[in-house]
């Protein structure tokens, strides 16, 4: 198998990895906000439930969570799902896991806002919703962007965990090719792909950070 064939094969896998990455972000970023608000809720039932949820998501391996999401419906409830559920399981597993991490980042950002900001909004006659979206959120986003960047970069690498339930993403392919060709090359090529992917992510986040930092 020539190197160009390996690259082509892995590139197909990369597209799947990118898909997992994009869908996870698309849903976990807003879901994280909902979880964060639940975590800060004055209602003790709501805050209690979200606290346990976050604790489990952060306290157990993502690989194990993927297994539970994928095999759980069959083992626990005897529901037979067709194999295409595999991709769905990966999305669900990643989204609920990452939402928990994002929620904690949001919460730390929101709680770091000085009381004075809320007071100033109060005396200007802002409603709670206006205060949150016009005063608090824009400032929180600037503060938490570096932590979010960290998480996003981790996510790029974590997509390889989809290997554990045999989703045909880049790492799964690299591992298969490496065994069949008895060669190191596919793993190295995959490593380069991951690195470039992250390099682009880091670059874009840095741009966003700079753009937000001034006059906005």
Partner 1 sequence: MIKFEDVGKRYPNGYEGLKHINLEIGQGEFVAIIGLSGAGKSTLIRTINRMHDVTSGSLTVDGTDVMSLSGKSLRRFRRKIGMIFQSFNLITRTTVIKNVLTAFVPDMPWYRSLFGIYNEEEKMKALEALDKVGILNKAFVRADQLSGGQQQRVALARTLAQSPQIILADEPVASLDPVTAKQVMNDFKRINQDMNISILINIHHVDLALKYCTRVIGISAGEIVYDGPSDKVDKAILNQIYGGGQEEEV
Distance in Å, CB of 210 to partner 1, minimum? 13
Size (the chain), residues: 216
In our burial notation (b when 16+ CB lie closer than 10 A, e otherwise), range 101-137 reads: bbbbbbbebbeeeeeeebeebeeeebeeeebbeebbb
Q: Which is nearer to partner 1, 72 or 138 (CB)?
A: 138
**In the complex, which residues of this chain contact partner 1 (CB under 8 A)?**
114, 116-117, 119-120, 122-127, 130, 133-135, 138-139, 142, 213-216
Q: Which is nearer to partner 1, 58 or 207 (CB)?
A: 207
Q: In whole angstroms, how close is the CB of 145 to partner 1 at the nearest point? A: 12
User: Is residue 68 classed as helix, strand or coil in its secondary structure?
Assistant: helix
Name which of 76 and 129 has its Cβ closer to partner 1. Answer: 129
Structure tokens at 62: 């993502």
Q: CB-wise, 77 or 214, nearer to partner 1?
A: 214
Minimal distance, residue 114 CB to partner 1, in Å? 8
Give the DSSP letter string of 97-133: HHHHHHHHHHHHHHHTS-HHHHHHHHHTT--HHHIII
């Amino acid at each position: 198998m020539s190197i160009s064939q390996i690259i082509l094969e892995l590139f197909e896998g990369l597209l799947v990895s990118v898909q997992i990455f994009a869908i996870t972000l698309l849903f976990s970023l807003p879901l994280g906000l909902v979880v964060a608000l639940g975590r800060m809720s004055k209602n003790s039932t709501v805050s209690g439930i979200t606290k346990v949820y976050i604790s489990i998501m952060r306290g157990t391996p993502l690989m194990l969570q993927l297994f539970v999401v994928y095999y759980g419906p069959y083992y626990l409830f005897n529901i037979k799902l067709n194999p295409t559920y595999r991709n769905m399981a990966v999305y669900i597993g990643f989204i609920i896991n990452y939402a928990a991490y994002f929620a904690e980042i949001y919460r730390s950002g929101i709680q770091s806002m000085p009381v004075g900001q809320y007071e100033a909004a109060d005396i200007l006659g802002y409603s709670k919703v206006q205060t949150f979206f016009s005063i608090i959120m824009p400032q929180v986003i600037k503060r938490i962007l570096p932590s979010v960047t960290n998480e996003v970069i981790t996510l790029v690498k974590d997509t390889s965990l989809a290997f554990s339930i045999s989703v045909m993403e880049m790492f799964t392919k690299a591992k298969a090719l490496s065994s069949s060709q008895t060669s190191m090359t596919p793993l190295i090529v995959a490593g380069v792909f991951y690195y470039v992917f992250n390099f682009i992510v880091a670059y874009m986040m840095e741009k966003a950070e700079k753009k937000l930092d001034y006059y906005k």
